[in-house]
Structure 1
Amino acid sequence: MNTESEIKVFAGSTGKDFAEKICIYLKSQLGKSRVITFSEGNIYVKVEETVRDKDVYLVQSIGLRPNDEFTEILFWIDAFKRASANSVTVIMPYFSYAKGDKKDEPRVSIRGRVCTECIELAGADRVVTMDLHSPQIQGFFKKPVDHLFALPILCEYINSLKIDDLVVVSPDSGFAKEARKFARYLKLPVAIGDKEREGHDENAKIIEIVGNVKDKNALIVDDFSISGGTLIDLANELKKRGVNRIFACLSHVLLNKDGVTKLENSPIEKLISTDSVYNPYVMDSKKVKVISVAPLFAETISRIHKRESVSPLFNKVPKEVLQIEE
């Protein structure tokens, strides 16, 4: 049987920091590899050590540069397979194209399905990801998918803040089911925002809030934010309705430079998220608290490698994984 010392973890161009944290947890060395992006945008990858008959774990999110990062993943899988790796597991903490999960109007692509099929055709044997925008995306894969959840780690950090009179707020009815999971874990009430989105842009208008929020503190929960528009609009509406302190909690933080600026000038006191996406824009923000989920993924890799069950990690994580301080 394989041992943890034989685990071969490699990183894509934007997955190195996350992969190094995984290796610290596993007490292993990061695999040697190289990525070159030529001036016209062409990507070149090379595995710089033998992987023959090894089980390889490639760490790369599809995040702020989704097209480049997705293409790079395909090239890495192909390189490992051509180097005779026994198996290739893609460790993809965030899958951006999971947002393209349906055909809700004529003549559009189901982008999530196209991407999953390409990953499998390139040769991936397994995928590990976290908090997909739509859980049914797992059904696009024919290969095994381990779908992890940031909720226990985020909630434990929130509990450590000891905020009184807190209510969990969902930005819309679509996320209400997930918001209730946060509320059950934290033993808190729920309020739900009602938002309206007219186009395919990143702007939505909050038109109502269902639930009692007056004179309470609010925790807005969502899976991700790019522009911060919905979070900040909801925070402003909560303030109008008598909320005292406002916090936000995201599984993935994709805020761009303008989004961080808006956050800094908003009523949101603290935005809590994970390091699932390499995002240099949030690193210097005093309002953003990033909690590492690398130990959660490292423990998952360890269990996969030892042929042990991963499902116990879905709802409750070991204490050693709850490393809420970076």
Structure 2
Amino acid sequence: MASSTLPEIHTIFEPNTSTWQYIVADPATKDAAIIDSVLDYAIATATITTSSADNLLDVAKRNNYNIKYILETHAHADHLTASKYLQQTLLRAGNPKPQICIGKRIEQVQHTFATKYRIDEAEYIGVFDKLLDDGEHLPLGKLEIEVLHLPGHTPDHVGYVIGSNVFTGDSLFLPDVGSARCDFPGGDATALFNSMTKLLSLPPDYRMYSGHDYPPNQGDGRSEPRAFATVAEQREKNKHVHDGVTKDEFVQWRMQRDATLGEPRLLHQALQFNIRAGQLPVKSEHGHRFFHVPLKVPEDAWIWGIETQG
């Protein structure tokens, strides 16, 4: 898997959603990929802004990078992707069109949530430029990107291996954070354990770059976010899947833990946006764009409500 060319890796933390964004480049050709970008969203005002995405573009410009790919590890449930904004901004600036890529099982996730949120097929079919096969290789200058299917958190989840670096998305967090939840549609704790086992079977010096970090900030815990840990560190210290933890132990704990968790703050907005690859919802006849947000009501809501017909 490793290449003799070492990539340049920029780790860029977005604190509002605790998301790690990455720019990975071949230092010789300056070809680069952006991984898991963030579009800023203020839930109180339902306003989208682009400061985080513009910062990614500034980093790329300062380093004279040619953005070849905009990669997603999965359909995120906790932040909005900036993929379409980045692509269109680069195009308007006269750059070649970068491909927006994601694992091929995104089609399953798109169908699930398009049905839930009543999104027309025209708004999500074909919005990704390339759906990636398991084990597929993408050229990045003198580097190569290998696609790893890492289901569990979501069924479409993939990671990206570039040299001795793996961008794991939400399939493996820092050792003192552990693992991601598996209670979204298509999530599976057993599959996640298998995915983490696949990652931890890589050489001990490989770096696992996480999709998020949530520093414990208590006792002797660190307070600053960290982007990666080595396979060796994960195997020794990951609090959920260190060496010696069995599949049955992990699955039982993960399922019990997930049953106590509330919804991510941006769950509904993020899923509706991200299955569109960051493309804006179509305008209504009045010029507005909408997200559907489910309303939770008391069991006796029928007293003043009208039941759905048909």
Q: TM exceeds 0.5?
A: no
- What is the TM-score with the length of structure 1 in the denominator? 0.31
- What is the TM-score with the length of structure 2 in the denominator? 0.32
Determine which structure has the larger helix proportion and give its number.
1
